[in-house]
Structure 1
């Protein structure tokens, strides 16, 4: 098998892994009303059901980080993805809040390392010259899930019952496992047979490296900022700006479709021209959208604000992910990605907590203090080009050493 054929196979299998993982992560909140009416889970507990997966994934990823690089990538990803498939299927047997919490916790335990392993597979086989567009393909799982996966799952729940989305996602994850078993070759190139170093990657010495710390700060700031503002955005658009709720499906579809196209283009641009100038251009547009959309009565329409928000978030995500993938050494990639996954999950959870603490709701459903979240988000987003510039300089020095 040629290197190009192997790259394509690994990239698309990694994208399917991410799609299964993202669908499992995202489906719980849209199903909230069905879970409330069918098995009596209070609406006030929906945030807990979403958050328990995030924190379980974060803890699992950090616990497994020292060990993932000692195993064949194929065997490791099969184990954790099969666990995710089974735990997602078990969600369909939940009968109250606590049984669902247990199933979601189990899913998070398996889901955390899966993210790290799928990205490590891509970094292992794709050279830097083509890596950004490959990461864009893998990262597009979130967009595909938003545009097609979640609406389809909700349609299934409406036609049958709330258990069907969990059953179908579990089956889909199982099918991806079968595809990996038959199509993915053994991946042990990251293992140094002459030493014992990969039996347990020391996490603390790795995190102490300035290049690693910088990449983690960059990833954490991005996740924190985006989840913090997005937590209240839909209610803000509907109750503060008067957007028709019936139009949400359309703007999700348009925004997701545009984001998918933009991610593919961003990957190619980064591969060809680098990340410094592009990150600055994206950030300027991003800040302008946030400033007009959230700091006063906007001049732009709600669909334009929402789609631009999704577009900028997707594009800056490709830039940061591609440059961060160059930070670890070969023998510590899965450990690095696992800790990065932990940082992203914890930052996203922290963003949600901050949003909950700052926002307040009026009797008519409108939100107060959304502008404070916008200022914090703008501050975080504006710092990303600086961190990207610093990280690029560190990587250049590393390559010359």
Structure 2
């Protein structure tokens, strides 16, 4: 089998894992109803998953840094399959939460190890493209996995989604065992060295932008299904279509965000994307009861939200080009923490205010990210100007 096909297999694996993470938002109302729990309690399934993913993955990767990558991927995938099997068969909310914890641990290691293997087996000079292909699989789970999961949950029991993911995971174990070669692990980067980057004010502020941007998004997205069904009054078929359109818009937004960054720069792309993000969330609040208006606004929201993704990744890498791998790892953890915090805040909003309020509360979070972005670039420009003036002064004296 060619190296290209092996990378596509890793991308499909990333798609499977991504679906297991994002699907909860698509079937939140069904989980709430069948388990006789509140929407707020069901929403915390996303908080738990993201929190365990963010904290557990770096620790496991550090402890297993010397392991053969193929062996680590198979073990992590095995844990992921077992967790999905438990989610499928175990009754009760508490046991389902336990299954989600195991699922998050397996998923995080699968994604990071898949990215590592893709870079190792890619032809020379094509490593970045290989990594992008695997990431695209994760993104595709939002486009196809979530609406497909919603359709399965609508036609059968929602637990069938996890049974299906577990079965496909078993197939993936066999395929990985037969196709991926043994690859020696690399030396781990000490956690102290990773955290040392946070002492840089520019990097700390940039990571704060990631946190508030995705946190604000998560406040609204976590409750998107009950919001559209209850507040907007969408039917089941329309909801599945809306989720599919939402996913397509995220892909287009991500692509155009990267293009805009190359053409017009990071500052303009980030600020304009976040401004549009805030505006669409506010408009969703105002037009919440009109499905004909909400549908195009959903597409615009997804487009605006994900246009910031590649731009922010690039922005972080340029802040510390000599530590790009560490920066992307830190950003990945921050984004998962943001998803957890957003789901948690969203739960408080639904419980204490109303389900209809998640959009404008989310807009506040994204608005904070936009302000931090403007301040960070203003600080950078002031610093650059001061450096230039200090270098010119000795020349004038001479």
Decide which of 30, 37, 42 is 1:42's aligned counterpart.
Answer: 37
Which sits farther off after the overlay, 373-382 or 118-127?
Answer: 118-127
Q: 1:16 to 1:84 in 2, by over 3 A?
A: same
Tell me the residue number matched to 1:244: 234
Report SS of the residue matched to 2:97: helix
Among residues 326, 351, 356, which one is paired with 1:367 in the alignment? 356
Check conservation: 1:67, 1:201, Cα contact below 8 A: no
Where structure 2 has 5 or more consecutive residues not aligned to the other structure, the ranges are 384-398
Residues 262-297 of structure 1 show CA distances to partners (whole Å, capped at 9, x for unaligned) of: 434545665788645543443343344345444788
Q: What is the aligned partner in structure 2 of residue 173 from structure 1? A: 169
**1:137-172 CA-partner distances (Å, limit 9, x unpaired):** 444445533443234334444555444322210122
Match for residue 184 of structure 1? 180
Structure showing the higher helix proportion among its residues: 2
Deviations 1:342-381 (A, max 9, x none): 322222111222233345678xx76347534423322214
Please give the alpha-carbon distance, in whole angstroms, between the structure 2 residues aligned to 1:352 and 1:102.
18
Kindly tell me: are residues 114 and 329 of structure 1, through their superposed partners in 2, closer, same or farther at Cα, counting changes over 3 Å?
farther
Pairs aligned (count): 375
Counting only pairs closer than 5 Å after superposition, residues 261-280 of structure 1 correspond to structure 2 as 261-267=252-258, 275-280=266-271
Q: Could you tell which deviates more after superposition, 78-87 or 218-227?
A: 218-227
Larger Rg: 2
**Matches of 1:272 and 1:208 in 2, distance apart?**
32
Q: Which residue of 1 aligns with 2:295?
A: 303
Secondary structure of 2:62's counterpart equals coil
SS state at 1:95 partner: coil
Q: TM-score, normalised by structure 2?
A: 0.75
What is the CA–CA distance in structure 2 between the aligned matches of 1:70 and 1:212, rounded to whole Å? 29
Q: Which among 63, 67, 73 is matched to residue 69 of structure 2? A: 73
RMSD: 4.2
CA offset digits 1:59-97 (Å, max 9, x no partner): 312422433543343332222122112211222220222
Q: Which residue of 2 aligns with 1:55?
A: 51
Give the 3 Å change call, closer, same or farther, for CA 183–28 of structure 1 in structure 2.
same
Partner residue in 1 for 2:310: 318
Q: State the secondary structure of the residue aligned to 1:208.
A: helix
Whether 2:227 is the aligned partner of 1:254: answer no
Change (3 A) 1:279 1:113: same
- The worse-fitting range, judged by mean Cα deviation, of 90-99 and 72-81 is 72-81
Query: 1:119-146: CA deviations, max 9, x gaps?
Result: 4445667799977766654444455334
Give the deviation of 1:224 after TM superposition: 1.3
- Give ranges in structure 1 of 5+ residues lacking alignment: 192-197, 395-401
